[in-house]
Amino acid sequence: MVKPVVSSGDSLLKEAVNGREPFSPIVAQHVFKRYIALLYRLCVEENNRYDVLVGPGDSGAVMVYFAELFYKAVHQPVPPKLVLPVQRYVDPDNQATELYDNSALLPSAVRQLAGLSVSKALFVDDEIWQANSAGACARLLAGALPEDAAQKRIVFTIVAENHGFEWHHDVPPIAIQYYAFSKRIIGVNNAVLRFLTADQQRALNEFTKIYLDPTEMDGQTRKMDLLCNGQIKVPSRTAGVAPVFREVAVKANLAELKSQVESELMLLIREAIEEYKQKQILFVF
């Protein structure tokens, strides 16, 4: 496991957390820059060429979108994508038990991976703790590949904020690597997805409220997936029945917001790369 070191940017993060609303865009922008800096380290400095870009659920789909912007900014081809609506299922006979059997998504994984030869996969998510989503995607990746391809070693590189992640499982032929772009900010979930200004967030909230489950404590991942990818995850209530991503008709005002946000993200990406080059963002790994 790798741990980020304290840099000048981390000092700014501490000041932002201590002196402002925890969901401050300043905090999110800093975490976003660390994500981009780590991608730069892996994809440009170390010259890793990933055969597939993997993202789980709403948050993973957004992190894949961010990665696509990064690849465009550094003028590298975007790898093929494997984005799956993984989810938890509740056992109807034991409501206290959460199940993470996403085997029903295997046909979708097979379709998305058709014709690909995979030796390196880049899995991205906003945060990782128990690795339920990562484990589900690794198993689906291994199961979806042709038998001859599955005999070869596949390096599965996880990039996500560290919420106490450890790995103790074998998923042959998957070999797990993990790189943390940030440590957990206590009291803040999905920190990297909270960079919108107050006005932008209000506009997004207004558009997306009809798609959100009012019983959810926080729907920021779904809101951001709608904004960035024009889709929403439709969960399944039964294990063995696959959840799906459903495309949503994007209105002009949301398309305008996305264009504005994308321009701002490209500026942040360029800033992140420059700050990394100037050693204002540092990692130990």
**Mean pLDDT to the nearest integer, 211-215:** 72
Asked if residue 234 is part of any domain, the answer here is no
How confident is the model over 232-275, as pLDDT tens digits? 899 888 878 899 999 988 788 899 999 999 999 999 999 999 99
- Residue 92 domain-assigned (yes or no): yes
* Top-confidence residue, 29 or 148: 29
CB atoms under 10 Å from CB of 184, counted, come to 17
Residue 206 falls within a domain, yes or no?
A: no
The predicted structure's pLDDT at residue 282 = 93
Query: Is residue 236, in this structure, part of any structural domain at all?
Result: no
- What pLDDT is recorded for position 12? 47
pLDDT at position 5 is: 35
Domain CATH for 106: 3.40.50
Q: Which residue has the tokens 């922008």?
A: 29
Cα dihedral 145, 148, 150, 151 in deg (nearest 10):
180
Q: 175 lies in a domain?
A: yes
Count of domains for the chain: 1
pTM to 2 decimals? 0.89
The answer to whether residue 216 sits within a structural domain is no
**Would 248 be classed as within a structural domain?**
no
* Angstrom distance (rounded) from CA 227 to CA 210: 14
Whether 39 has a pLDDT exceeding 50, the answer reads yes
What pLDDT score does 110 carry? Answer: 97
Task: Report helix, strand or coil for 222.
Answer: helix
Size of the chain, expressed as the number of residues it contains: 285
Segments forming the whole domain that contains residue 51: 8-196+265-277
Q: Is residue 250 part of a domain?
A: no
pLDDT at 92: 67
The CA-CA-CA angle for residues 47, 145, 64, to 5°, reads 50
| Tokens linked to 225 | 């997936």
